[in-house]
Amino acid sequence: MIRVDPNSSIPPFEQVRTGYAAQINDGTLPVGAKLPTVRKLAEDLGIAPNTVAKAYRELEEAGLIETRGRAGTFVSAVGDESRERARQAAADYAALTRKLGLDRDEAKAIVDAALG
């Protein structure tokens, strides 16, 4: 279940996006699982439908979910590949930092800063 903390400094759409991304990546939401409609989730969370729609758009752009017209929105099989994509990006980053002559601690500090 996704929850939104109205007192958080994190925008509601980001809370929805990261909540679903985490559940997809850890397998809580398996490939093919159907997500609630934008209106239903907005109603359940007490937030605007556009907020949920923005989170869904970002999840779809990341390949974690797919919309199948009137059939609804589902966890995408591509979502299974997200960890591998992240590993590949990390390997590419590591190769770049070595090429640039950055030491391990500095490279990690850059990643930590980027993750915020």
pLDDT value of residue 80: 59
Q: Are 69 and 30 in contact (CB under 8 A)?
A: no
Q: Are 12 and 50 in contact (CB under 8 A)?
A: no
Tell me the two tokens of residue 72: 């609804």
State pLDDT tens for residues 103-113.
Answer: 999 999 999 99
pTM: 0.72
State pLDDT tens for residues 50-96.
Answer: 999 999 999 999 889 999 999 999 999 875 566 777 889 999 999 99
Helix (H) or strand (E) holding 73: strand 73-75
State pLDDT tens for residues 32-56.
Answer: 999 999 999 999 999 999 999 999 9
